[in-house]
Amino acid sequence: MFCITEDFLVTKHGELGCIACHGGENILSTQKAHAGLVRYPSADAGGICSQCHGNISASFATSIHYTVQGMRNALADFTHPDILEEDGGIKAAFDSNCYKCHATCGSCHVSRPKAFSGGLHSQHTFTKLPPMEDTCYGCHGARNAGEYMGMVGYAKDVHFEGGKHCVDCHPVSNFHGTGAVEQNMYEVGLPKCTDCHQNIYLDSNIPAHNVHSSDTMSCQVCHASANNNCFDCHAALTESGSVAGTSTSRIMFKIGLNPQITETRPYKYVTLRHIPTTAKTFASLGGELPNYDLRANWKYSPTHNIQRKTIQNENCNSCHGNQYIFLQQSDLRENDSEANRKLLVPKLP
């Protein structure tokens, strides 16, 4: 009863029986019964789940949750496209550490992510709507999910306080995939504030909405709170032979120039977040990042701790007269990338 509840036995998955997914033998000998046991049946996107959920499994196989392609691309940007095809310190760090964020069907619908704590979240009951405190938070807790729930930073997101689940904003394609080979989270059709707040620039009685054009800044510039920023990551071998990373973190709020203006992100000013990568992150493993200074380590951040009133929107001067919230030369560390300079706001708007 520790692993399953009686209610599970009468569900469609429960009626299949343990061995339908996990293998093994239905015999009394514990040792023989568990021979050939498959601990994580959904590890392969084309495996057991695809037998009943073929369309979902097919699109999930190319999703960034399954492939962690965004992390692969980040390492390739700092080095070269085939870096993870080569044996070496960076591949070892990816396989041992980064790849832990790879998700499976079971990581959400029946258990907690292995990168979090593992274990069943609902006594083996398969939940169509996963509990976000156990699943989303498990992988995204240090940043967006943790900030959303008020467990990281200084404020809960107003939408979380209103009872909103992640899926109330994020469409199912953000999790199951679009069917295309996804390269990063910005390609998958992320939600926009204006999906719900359509008339914010057309019919608003808020002066700040009327005097700023829709491409001046992202909504988070005015309505987000301080977020979690990480610095000085160093990967190293552990006593067990695996690779682990250590870094420091700081809760802070910075606005900078948009590193990549696109049709869906046309803003001049956006909220930023510092990532922990440095030129020497993989040095102890023999890994080098030759393109380090070509890639900023202050990144665009869709911060998930929205409030209607924040310190930067109390009045005009709270933003326009507040040099401390804009990324400046003095904010750059000695080991920061040279590419960060293009995000600096040298003169207050």
Task: Give residue-wise pLDDT tens across range 84-137.
Answer: 999 999 999 999 888 888 999 999 999 998 877 788 999 999 999 999 999 999
Looking at residues 324-344, what average pLDDT do you find?
A: 96
Does residue 234 register a pLDDT over 70? yes
Does residue 1 register a pLDDT over 60? no
Please state, in angstroms and rounded to a whole number, the distance separating the CA atoms of residues 329 and 348. 13
Partners of residue 251 on adjacent β-strands: 228
Does residue 2 register a pLDDT over 70? no
Enumerate the domain spans of the chain: 1-35, 192-349
At residue 188, the pLDDT reads: 85
Identify the H or E element spanning 22.
Answer: helix 18-22
In 3-state terms, what secondary structure has residue 109? helix
Q: What are phi and psi of 200, to 5 degrees?
A: -65, -30
Does residue 27 register a pLDDT over 70? yes
At residue 204, the pLDDT reads: 76
In 3-state terms, what secondary structure has residue 91? helix
> Among residues 268, 254, 196, 188, which one has the least CA distance to residue 225?
254
Q: What is the pLDDT of residues 51-79, one digit of tens each?
A: 999 999 999 999 999 999 999 999 999 99
pTM: 0.89
Q: What is the pLDDT of residues 238-292, one digit of tens each?
A: 888 788 888 999 999 999 999 989 988 999 999 999 999 999 999 999 999 999 9
